[in-house]
Structure 1
Amino acid sequence: MTTHKLLLLPGDGIGPEAMAEVGKIVAVLNGAGGDRFETEEALVGGAAIDAHGVPVADRDMDRALKADAVLFGAVGGPKWDGVAYEIRPEAGLLRLRKDMALFANLRPAICYPALAEASSLKRELVDGLDILILRELTGGVYFGIPKEIVDLGEGQKRGIDTQVYETYEIERIARAAFEAARTRKGKVTSMEKRNVMKTGVLWNEVVSRVGRDEYPDVRLEHMLADAGGMQLVRAPKQFDVIVTDNLFGDMLSDIAAMLTGSLGMLPSASLGAPDAATGKRRALYEPVHGSAPDIAGQGIANPIAMIASFAMMLRYSFALMREADALEAAIAAVLESGTRTGDIMAPGCRQVGTAEMGDAVAAEFARRLAA
């Protein structure tokens, strides 16, 4: 029996409410007689600013580096709008990604059959949708230097963000995309803006070479990122694996998320490179939704994206495929039964709150594990 040590970072807004429902899933696993999970919590985001004056304390960063995996909630809210840019709540997440060297962000966009009507697109466009977006996470415009606002005098200022990519950064995310495609439908779509950006030219060149030389069995196509956004809302099922940079990945993954009916439904995984000695990866898992301060504390938030992020953890960090499959199937079964939180409510369904949705998924998960 293996024991896995998890660091839970609930964060702000609805983060703690959704994270509490993962505790029910952990309890089911710990009672099932297989691998066990030990958890500890720490502060991040606005909660950490209030307690420590920084969005993630050094000692909690050290805990994240030593954990077998990290589960993250959400950060931010109007309470912290006035803090300095360098210590804004989101800076805690950026530090986690950077210090843990989490270069590959995996964001699945899956439309559960029971929710096809909740999409903003017609059912036939999204029913059966299964896309995986790989976003490069530690380079690009979010981290490029210089990043500053310069006072030019006479009431004028200049804002500067620098888009920078090196060959190795593009190679490793490209390889991750091609490897993922080999386990799916065998197609990768690389998105950039080579028509106006030099980084896009390099991105296109490197991805093409990696695909040609190392993955000739995987079909590769290139698409300008703006055209890709249009195609995601026009004919999303044409895509299998999409690989793109940090900025475009941020935007395109949110577009893809809304195809499924709600941001509250989708998980994500952020992975580092395998350790040369052990093969283990540092990893952080988080729901795609934000902190939603407007509904925080009301017990109505949808916890499915958080629970599904834990399912990704079971799959990618611990290779517990049976358990991951059972948890994902439990989510689908609960939705098929008509159980809904308010964001995905439909006529004829039964509306529940955060805790009741968590209870339903945990009970179904337990049933499937025992079968």
Structure 2
Amino acid sequence: MIPFNKPFLVGKETSFIEEAVKSGKISGNGEFTTKCHKFFEEHYGFKKTLLTTSCTDALEMAAMLINIGPEDEIIVPSYTFVSSALAFTRQGAKIVFADSRKDHPGIDEEGIEQLITSKTKAIVVVHYAGIACNMDVIMDIAKKNDIFVIEDAAQAIDSYYKGKPLGSIGHFGAFSFHETKNIISGEGGLLTINDEQFINRSEIIWEKGTNRSAFFKGEVDKYGWVDTGSSFLPSELIAAFLYAQLKHLTKIQDKRKTIWKTYFEGLVSLQERGKLQLGIVPDFATNNAHMFYVITKNIKERDSLIKYLKSNNIHAVFHYLSLHRSPYHVKGLKGKEQSLPEADRYTNCLVRLPLFYSLKIDEVETIIKTIKSFY
């Protein structure tokens, strides 16, 4: 079976973990955490970065930093992972779901403004498949309405919008290093803080609501509980694994882009014949090769394709189930339903193909041949 995903080692992951243990400190915010922060801030120009135990934690920190509460509304695309909404609804906010674009699973930028009310406090944009949303449109809407923008860049490391790194454009960015992502650490995440007014408080929330970071910098003579927060920082073992991967970022990205290009060149003839639809990369965006997906004509065809691939020892998967139709959300609507046809179409028709660092090109060619055989 060609798996959908497979974790990988690319450098000194295990030796860095051993180094962390021998240093005598494996709790969070140690030497490897500092090295990771420095990498992200120097490589991408983020104003402030904080490693977290997951992208979900990074989003929860963003919700705390802008003081989300029960009177607030947050605009979130329906076609996304639950964390994009959960981080804000657990603070009591009302989630207002937005539809996807017709040509891409990302948020329909042109439909955002009609969802804004006097209670709207933030827009969460998800850079699906690592492909940027139209951030000029989104930031203009946010500025005009005095609302925050949080970039859910879980899939978007090393991807850009008009030359700007994703995660650096909104007030906050949130990344994931889950084992299915380009750069991995098993679990793990990163919060980027792009608005300087939140930098000091972000460290307090990160450190369980204490001013511990200020204490270690010599800014206070003792530390205590001064704000809300939680235990968001990961252990040095996670940071050590992550740092080893970051040192080989270019190598990893080059391999993934080769796989993506092989898929595209092998399957584009099916798109030209009208058999299926491939993902797009708008002129304003770059492609970080996070995933390769195809869009079938209907759910019956999608299920048949996945079943056919499985019968040929290839593990392909569908992706998100529209959150506006989730049991948790519908339960709170009291019978009212939203109509978000594009989100539902991607729910029913999108198929993700295997894409991971150690996937061999001859395996990719086998997958392409099998899909062509299906059609």
TM-score bin, normalised by smaller chain: under 0.3
TM-score, normalised to structure 1, is 0.28
More strand by percentage? 1
TM-score, normalised to structure 2, is 0.27
